[in-house]
Amino acid sequence: MKTIKMMKVAGTKPSVRKVVGVDPQCGLALAHCRCTADYGRKNSHGSRVIYQIYRLEDGVYELQGGVGWERGEKRRWYRVIGSDWLQLSFEEAVASARNLG
């Protein structure tokens, strides 16, 4: 199992979704992952970092946002194997999804 922390700062909405198959329109069928929140560095306005903590089982995941103060919602894909992970291209994530079925 891989544990990751994603930064949630004012106005951002990081997310982690597990690839569960292929979708004919979007390319990937995704399921949202649940997280726990660490409010240790939050101030009263919520403008300090709140960490969203995800515990990921083996599989392929899409991560969006959560890397800093920038509002860019860059999407990234990773394969998790045990406590290790490897970044994938979108095409590699789609190929992995095709192998699920």
DSSP letter assigned to residue 98: H
Q: Which pLDDT does position 57 carry in this prediction?
A: 96
Torsion of the alpha carbons at 8, 16, 3 and 71, rounded to the nearest 10: -30
* Domain count along the chain: 1
Q: Which pLDDT does position 101 carry in this prediction?
A: 61
Q: What is the pLDDT along the chain (101 residues), one digit of tens a residue?
A: 999 988 887 677 889 999 999 988 888 999 999 999 888 776 666 556 788 999 999 999 999 987 665 555 688 999 999 999 999 999 999 999 988 76
Amino acid of residue 29: A
The domain of 59 spans 2-98
Whole-prediction pTM: 0.84
